[in-house]
Structure 1
Amino acid sequence: MPTSTPSPLRCVVVDDNEINRLTLEHYISLTDSLELVASLPDARAALNLVRTAEPPIDVLFLDIEMPHLSGLELVPLLPSPAPEVVLVTSHPNFAVDAFELRVADYLVKPVEYGRFLKAVERAGTQRRNVLAALRSPAEPAPSAEGSADTDLFVKVNNKLVRLDFNDVLFIEAMSTYSMLVTERQKHIVYITLKALEERLPFANFRRVHRSYIVNTRRIDSVQDNMLQLGSYEVPIGKSYAEDFMRQLRGL
């Protein structure tokens, strides 16, 4: 049976310099895995497009230095799940800022086509992982002797990892990702906290804060709107406190 070809990644170029935009537009036209949706001179217009585009935008090729709203300022404003971002700039000193924003890649002008293709491959891999995790963030572990009902496979980086959710103390939001925290390890999974909350099959996991879901079976104590779970402390948000405490007393 022939293998189906993946749909091209829908991409947008954002740069206030027309020559730079034309260069990236040409590279995109040479790349079968990409589909150019728009080429824009303004980050504000790009933000509006990403918020309304249907189907969603997969990749942004984003200049850093632009008037009104820079590329570095735009990235945190992107809606969730955000497109993969490839920053493009003339100044390599922005690399540290780019790393902290968890962008897919960082290109320095003038951009060579070979280096552009590497960025496309990296962004494409990350985008496919995110979309796969959003469609199926946690799947029941295959039945096997000794396996428990609390075991799930979760997608971590490029592989599925079996995780016993009895060991999970809490889950913390990290932008468009989530971090599952046990006493000994932390796992980054490609799904938002909201989506994970909706799909997690265990009743003992409760939202206690806009940034935290806790395993109520692992709560050691509660004091001054703080939960102690092992060596960690997790705050209880004001809007969650009354309902959560009522639920906790009923456990």
Structure 2
Amino acid sequence: MRILIVDDERPARDKLRRLLAQQPGITELEEARDGVEALERAAAFRPDAIFLDIQMPEVSGLEVAASLPDPAPLIVFATAYDEYAIKAFDANAVDYLLKPYDEARLQRALQRLHARFADRKPAPQTGLPVRQLLVSERGATRIVRAEDIQWLETADNYVVLHTPQGSPLLRQTLAALLDSLGPAFIRTHRRAAVQRSWVERVEADSKGDGQVLLRGGASAPLSRQYRPALMAALSG
């Protein structure tokens, strides 16, 4: 299993990494320091399971769990607060580790995790795997519903999420984000993609380049390289 450790406290991450590194069947370990970084690392690292703290600044562990693509990684919540147990299991958690836990308690969690992992079958991708994205903005967290995203545009190490409510920046690659969002989004340019349901009209010149006009007046660039796939998707 590939495991992502998410906790805003460095000692907690170090302890869990040390214990997990000694366990058989775990091939890779990665860390995230908060909820926003957890979503970024989950998209890039694609873990099989996440050990997830609940109380973190800006984005809680429960919010992270709700924002993971489907099929989501298996989740073991690890927290110092027992009042979140019901909500954790409502989020389909495999286990709930109450801090401070010892190695024996971690072993029981790993047994449950391995059993669930062995029984798991790959789930087919649905039209819109990710329901929402969490964007960090000046100390606050903005929730962007996937259905509200008209088109996507790369900007250095970020992707601009163009919506009727604004255009926040998400630190992620366009390719990784498109994998998470699924087939509802279609690439139109090496630096852009549109959501099919927002497309109103396609305008192209004799060479195939042009623009995709969207409901509400927005537009996205179109290159001839991506035009055939776009037209095939729109006609399907």
TM superposition score normalised by structure 1: 0.48
Cα contact 2:3–2:29 (8 A) shared by 1: yes
User: How big is the shift at 1:52?
Assistant: 2.6
1:119 to 95, 105, 109: 109
The structure with the larger Rg is 1
Cα contact 1:91–1:108 (8 A) shared by 2: yes
Distance of 2:55 and 2:44 partners within structure 1: 24
2:19 is matched with: 27
User: How big is the shift at 1:133?
Assistant: 5.1
Asked if 1:57 corresponds to 2:47, the answer is: yes
Distance of 1:46 and 1:120 partners within structure 2: 20
Asked if 1:129 corresponds to 2:91, the answer is: no
SS at match of 2:77: strand
Indicate the structure whose relative CO is greater, using CA pairs within 8 Å and at least 6 residues apart: 2
> Kindly tell me: are residues 111 and 36 of structure 1, through their superposed partners in 2, closer, same or farther at Cα, counting changes over 3 Å?
farther
User: How big is the shift at 1:50?
Assistant: 1.3
Unmatched runs of 5 consecutive residues or more in structure 2: 125-129, 131-181, 183-236
Cα contact 2:32–2:41 (8 A) shared by 1: no
Matched ranges for 1:207-226 at <5 A:
none
Asked if 1:37 corresponds to 2:37, the answer is: no
Percent of counterpart pairs with the same letter? 30
Q: Deviations over 1:139-169 (max 9, x none)?
A: xxxxxxxxxxxxxxxxxxxxxxxxxxxxxxx
Distance of 1:28 and 1:36 partners within structure 2: 10
Count of equivalent residues: 130
2:233 is matched with: none
SS at match of 2:18: helix
User: How big is the shift at 1:35?
Assistant: 3.0
Unmatched runs of 5 consecutive residues or more in structure 1: 1-8, 136-174, 176-193, 195-251
Asked if 1:92 corresponds to 2:82, the answer is: yes
Root mean square deviation of aligned Cα: 2.6
AA paired with 1:74?
V
2:4 is matched with: 12
- Shift >4 Å, 4+ stretches: none
Q: Deviations over 1:21-60 (max 9, x none)?
A: 111011111111223431221111111121233xx31110
